[in-house]
Structure 1
Amino acid sequence: MKHLGLTCLCIAAAWTVPAAAGEVNTGYFGSVAIEGYDPVAYFTEKRAVKGSEKFQSEWLGATWQFSSDKNRKLFDASPIDYAPQYGGLCSEGVAYNEVTVNIEPEVWQIIDGKLYLSAGAGFEDLAANRPKAEANWPTVHAELVK
């Protein structure tokens, strides 16, 4: 299964626990989360779908783009339900105490109703590595928000 990803050394946060404003991975440049991919589409269409500047919302200091007004409204009603875990960082990287800045939006998984992103290959191990990522997230997050 292909999936979505975000990661940033500069700005990142968790959605395991609500994060403060300005903590969403937007990569090295700009302020758009998930490289402009629609976070709701991963759940509703079961695929990575590019969002549009026509349908945008601001949340946690980042711009989120959507493929439709319907998806924008779903996100606005409950962003925590659709936002990627670990602030959009590569989930496998977090499992190994790494901050992976560049992600691949088409490499993603939904596990237990939560969106996880990746920087690329090796993502099939996420289910097994998720406990390590959960344990490491507080330390990784603290480093990011210094």
Structure 2
Amino acid sequence: MKSLLTVLLLCLTPALPAVAQEWALGGYDAVSYTRVGRPVPGRSDIATMWKGQKWHFSSEENRARFEADPRAYAPAFGGLCPVALAEGRRVEGDPTHFVIIGKRLYLTRSDAAEQSILSAPQRILPAARQGWLRLKQAPAAVGME
């Protein structure tokens, strides 16, 4: 009985949502944001590793584009919300909430954050860059939560 339970757990584990959290962008195709204008789910069989994360793509062509220049498609600030960074906080962006400004992908935490950055990018982005630099320089990111 114990071995049957172990086998069931091993079979079901890949289907758990937590697995998708290990994927960059929650499994969305990074290239789709700029090429299609929206997040498109990536396929589990079309992926690559970059910066310790597994990136999934909806097509071989998109994977090749990403592999040729990953920084062009990866979200700025490591996927942190620029509005939160500008406020001095470290908050993960949601891959379904995003803006593209100057060919750069920014993940935001919400619709409200999307609207905020779109209404004042010239104020928010420099403040976010400062927050990002402070975060990268702080050994434990104290005060950025």
Same-fold call, TM > 0.5?
A: yes
User: Which runs of structure 1 show a deviation greater than 4 angstroms over 4 or more consecutive aligned residues?
Assistant: none
Partner of 1:45: 36
Instruction: Structure 2: give runs of 5+ residues left out of the alignment.
Output: 1-17
Larger radius of gyration: 2
Instruction: Give the structure-2-normalised TM-score.
Output: 0.74
CA-CA distance at 1:116 after TM superposition:
0.2
Partner of 2:127: 132
Cα deviations by residue, 1:108-143 (Å, 9 ceiling, x for unpaired):
011011000011123222213111101221112234
Query: Partners of 1:144 and 1:132 in 2: how far apart?
Result: 20
Amino acid at match of 2:33: Y
CA-CA distance at 1:144 after TM superposition:
6.9
C-alpha RMSD of matched pairs (Å): 2.0
Q: How many pairs align?
A: 118
Partner of 1:107: 97
Query: Partners of 2:50 and 2:140 in 1: how far apart?
Result: 17
Instruction: Give the structure-1-normalised TM-score.
Output: 0.73
| Aligned residues with identical type, % of pairs | 32
Asked if the contact 1:93–1:100 (Cα under 8 Å) also holds between the matched residues in 2, the reply is: yes
Query: Partners of 1:112 and 1:104 in 2: how far apart?
Result: 20
Partner of 1:18: none
2:30 is paired with a residue whose SS is: coil
Partner of 2:10: none
1:63 and 1:107, CA in 2 relative to 1: closer, same or farther beyond 3 A? same
More helix by share: 2
